[in-house]
Structure 1
Amino acid sequence: MTSALEKVTGAVRQRVSSLTSVPLPRSVDERWLGATWPVRELAPAPPGLKPVLGDDGAPVLGHTLDFMRFGTDFTLKRYETYGPVSWMGVFGRRMVVLSGPEATQIALVNKDKAFSSQDGWKFFIERFFDRGLMLLDFGEHHLHRRIMQTAFTRDRLAGYLGQMGPTLREGVAAWSDRANPRIYWSLKQLTLDVATRVFMGMRSGDDADAINRAFVKAVRAGTAVIRFPMPGGRWAAGLQGRKVLESYFRANLPSKRLSDGEDLFSALCSATTDDGERFTDTDVVNHMIFLMMAAHETATIAATSVVYNLAKNPEWQERARQESLALGDEMPDIDALESLTALDLVLKESLRLNAPSPSSARMTVKDTEVLGHFIPEGTLVNVTPTVNHFVPECWTDPMRFDPERFNEQRREDKSHRYAWLPFGGGAHKCIGLHFATFEVKALLHEMLRAYRWTVPPVYKARWDYTSLPIPADGMPIRLERR
């Protein structure tokens, strides 16, 4: 472990030096890079176990702002300092952080059922995404996942892909008058259009725009520092966004129950297991709100990361483009998208370097231990699998963009079962991972056919982790029609 951490140390320092030049108060950088906080035990450990060590960070806020500013770099620094099991002050309380493949596997496999996803996420997003699939546990989670799986079969995915194709092609073509777009915001609008079309059967327009704004407010509220409905604050906006979403889905649910539409809303209304189990109306509303959030946010981040890496590595952009052009002008189906091997390698590497969901919340529902460290009942836990994406025991030169690490000859993602986790792992592994993969590949396929794009050689993306990792400047690119 020591040698691995030493390698991480050098890589972290190299990466920190490459952060954007956006100025910060000198004290902030010094506090993160050089200042130390008193190291304390989380709780006394029983005989045979070790206490979890960590620090509170700044008064009240703890390390909340550190993580929002530095994201993965901050978690790598914590891994370097404390190892795979530690705690830190955040959002006014103490939270255990589990990093590295072994610690991550223990929490996500959850053999002794000590880690509750429902109770963990409750602290962050329950008020906005109540009883979404990620916020259910154990038997109830298994039941809801079985019902929902009928809406994500390969045949269903093929239908969704057929619906999203024209929306993506039309949306990408509309960028032709924007020579220097902030590509994150362009992609976000497009993935929201896809989500409202494929998930809800809605066309673009005022209603769709209102729904999209409500989702954005709900997503941003989860990591609000002021966690009560102060007028004008993110928490209050999120609660209002939730009301808008509930009203829309409840108003449209009766007609969806009677329809045989191909959108996800209709699919969840009719989803039935072989045993006849179905969702209640309330279940459908809760799952739709959660799935809409998960789908468009993760797809936007993943697509933005791919666009960035293809801009920085034009040889890979051209390699991927040639594969897309070889498919011709027809809308690609699932088999066609699966044949885009270069784009697949770039997507996987982009997800490694910037996972759309960089952490996963849990709460211990009984005393437990991880790698010999004692964690008491009632402890908020943050599982950070993105650290696993950079540990040198799993990856060659982990800070370098190298899509070939995923080719069949190397398959570095197989170095450990939990080395690569862009979609989570264990029982709560993302149910929509194949949908997201096809959507991102279909979107990039349309971009590659229509444009070439670049960023200045000195440009480096800085990811803002206030909610999920997004480019702080929206990522300006130069877009040129082919």
Structure 2
Amino acid sequence: MVTVVDRMTGTLREKLPPLTALPLPGAVDERILAQRWPVRELAAPPEGSGLQPVLGDAGPPLIGHTLTMMRYGAAYGLRRYEQYGPVWWSGAFGRRIVTVTGPEATQAVLVNKDKAFSQEGWKFFIEKFFNRGLMLLDFGEHHTHRRIMQEAFTKDRLAGYIAQQGPALRDGIAAWEHHPGRPRLYWLLKQLTLDVATRVFMGMPSGPDAQRINRAFVACVRAATAVVRYPVPGGRWQAGIQGRATLERYFARHLPAKREGDESDLFSALCHATTEDGERFTDDDVINHMIFLMMAAHDTSTITSTAVCYYLAKHPEWQERARAESLALGEDLPDMAALGTLHTLDLVIKEALRLVPPVPSFSRKAVEDTEILGHYIPEGTLVGVTPTGNHFDERYWTDPHTFDPGRFSEERREDKGHRYAWIPFGGGAHKCIGLHFGTYEVKALLHEMLRRYRWSVAEDYEVRWDYVSLPVPVDGLPIQLKALDHTA
């Protein structure tokens, strides 16, 4: 256990489970994260409540911890935990934001039994760009929309999506042989997952239109963490607003044909989704959900695939083990049942999601005065839940900074130590609705890579993730691809 001293009074505050900090590349990084700022209370607890104040600091003038948070991501969060404990606040994006770390604090926020936390936390960051997407809806309205959307993610629908993505993945990965030297894998994967998303979700072939749509999605995602949150010409916020307008026009133009037709893509599925009670989406609902789902589908799949490829490059014994299972499937495009037999990839994907969760924070807003683990949270407070802290909690994970897919094997199942120890897909009522599709897509993509290539990185190479929006390798992850001799 780690003893934490209240830096305002000098007295013992509490004892915490150990979370080992991430190693950093250099002394400059250590000095930046070690810098201390005057400690303040977020707000004084009501007299007689018995609650503790949330401690934290505003960081540097004007920008607060915004840039440090985006540069260091998980390392920043773990250092703050060491300083303040599982509930702390920091100045960022012009606001005071409370962050919770650890399974217990996470459970309190995501289970939300008193409905004290709303999705309005997300609205602060992304409402202008992903307005009324499923993740931004609350309570009864969210429940209704989720029930309708579930009709687009039934087992039969999933099987259809998997059948559609197979040829796009196989053709796209085969084309990588034309990239000489050390291609930047992240960008290859991003283009590939976009092709899959446009074909499977939109029924749209790759080409100039797909590229334009991709640029619009990228602009929307990056705008969410813009430091200057006004439409300054040439700025990320303005680019995001323009990207959103481009996406709205595209989906509105194609929606009537999707309503009238009977195609198998997700766009069509949302147009026709109907519950047993006859509830359906309006045209505006379909457009809003499509914009959000397209972002969620191809960005998170890209990040997860990139992380898995990196760890398989660093640990070739796991790459060979996974390859043996893929080659055993033969040349046919795998369906759901076949993908289900790739047990090694299951373990590796789960471990990659633990080490690099594709969504590094889940945002909420307190809609009334409440508390988290005995800490006073006033109404209106933005609250962020960070999976990374949970994923490095030594009470549940053995050597948490070590790549060890075996921790998810049936013999160990370290993820079962606490319901919220492993939360790459969130939790509670807003747990990711597309988690099964996303997992199948990543497995199918990696299966095609394994049967065609062997890949590696330089022996001394260590990836560094940029958290400006979602985790992205700062150098695009240069790898060496080598085609397997027996692959056609």
TM-score range, shorter chain: over 0.9
* Aligned counterpart, 1:303: 305
Partner residue of 2:358 out of 356, 359, 366:
356
Q: 2 CA distance for matches of 1:56 and 1:244?
A: 37
* Aligned counterpart, 1:123: 124
Partner SS state of residue 416, structure 1: coil
* Aligned counterpart, 1:110: 112
Q: 2 CA distance for matches of 1:237 and 1:95?
A: 25
Q: Is the CA contact 2:70–2:467 (under 8 Å) kept in the aligned structure 1?
A: yes
Shift of 1:386: 1.8
How do residues 40-439 of structure 1 correspond to structure 2 at under 5 angstroms?
Answer: 40-46=40-46, 47=48, 48-117=50-119, 119-178=120-179, 179-439=181-441
Amino acid at match of 1:283: D
Shift of 1:278: 0.1
Q: Is the CA contact 1:200–1:264 (under 8 Å) kept in the aligned structure 2?
A: yes
Q: 2 CA distance for matches of 1:5 and 1:407?
A: 28
Identical aligned pairs, as a percentage? 67
Shift of 1:392: 0.2
Q: 2 CA distance for matches of 1:93 and 1:130?
A: 21
Q: 1 CA distance for matches of 2:189 and 2:455?
A: 14
Q: Is the CA contact 1:5–1:79 (under 8 Å) kept in the aligned structure 2?
A: no
Q: 2 CA distance for matches of 1:435 and 1:234?
A: 30
Amino acid at match of 1:299: S
Q: Is the CA contact 1:101–1:388 (under 8 Å) kept in the aligned structure 2?
A: yes
Q: Is the CA contact 2:304–2:353 (under 8 Å) kept in the aligned structure 1?
A: yes
Q: 1 CA distance for matches of 2:408 and 2:164?
A: 30
Amino acid at match of 1:413: D
CA displacement, residues 83-107 of structure 1 (integer Å, 9 cap, x when unaligned): 1111010011101011100000000
Partner SS state of residue 121, structure 2: helix
Equivalent pairs counted in the alignment come to 470
Q: Is the CA contact 2:33–2:79 (under 8 Å) kept in the aligned structure 1?
A: no
- The structure carrying a bigger helix percent of its residues is 1
Q: 1 CA distance for matches of 2:98 and 2:272?
A: 40
Shift of 1:29: 4.6
Q: 2 CA distance for matches of 1:294 and 1:177?
A: 29
Q: Is the CA contact 2:106–2:385 (under 8 Å) kept in the aligned structure 1?
A: yes
Partner residue of 1:454 out of 453, 456, 465:
456
Q: 2 CA distance for matches of 1:471 and 1:403?
A: 21
Shift of 1:5: 5.0
Q: 1 CA distance for matches of 2:431 and 2:95?
A: 27
Q: 2 CA distance for matches of 1:242 and 1:87?
A: 31
Shift of 1:146: 0.2
CA displacement, residues 37-89 of structure 1 (integer Å, 9 cap, x when unaligned): 11110000122111100111111111111111110011011111111111010
TM-score (norm 1): 0.96
TM-score (norm 2): 0.95
CA displacement, residues 356-412 of structure 1 (integer Å, 9 cap, x when unaligned): 001001100000001100000000111112210001011011000000000001000
Amino acid at match of 1:317: Q
Indicate yes or no: 2:16 matched with 1:16.
no
Q: 1 CA distance for matches of 2:111 and 2:63?
A: 31
Q: Is the CA contact 1:95–1:382 (under 8 Å) kept in the aligned structure 2?
A: yes
Q: Is the CA contact 2:17–2:395 (under 8 Å) kept in the aligned structure 1?
A: no
Q: Is the CA contact 1:356–1:422 (under 8 Å) kept in the aligned structure 2?
A: yes
Shift of 1:16: 2.5
Q: Is the CA contact 1:84–1:100 (under 8 Å) kept in the aligned structure 2?
A: yes
Q: 1 CA distance for matches of 2:246 and 2:178?
A: 33
* Aligned counterpart, 2:9: none
Shift of 1:2: 2.4
Gaps of 5+ in 2: 4-14
Q: 1 CA distance for matches of 2:23 and 2:342?
A: 34
Amino acid at match of 2:44: P
Which runs of 4 or more aligned residues in structure 1 lie more than 3 Å from their structure 2 counterparts after TM superposition?
3-7
User: Cα RMSD over matched residues?
Assistant: 1.2
Shift of 1:31: 3.1
Q: 1 CA distance for matches of 2:62 and 2:23?
A: 26
Q: Is the CA contact 1:6–1:80 (under 8 Å) kept in the aligned structure 2?
A: no
Shift of 1:207: 1.1
Q: Is the CA contact 1:392–1:398 (under 8 Å) kept in the aligned structure 2?
A: yes
Q: 1 CA distance for matches of 2:228 and 2:73?
A: 20
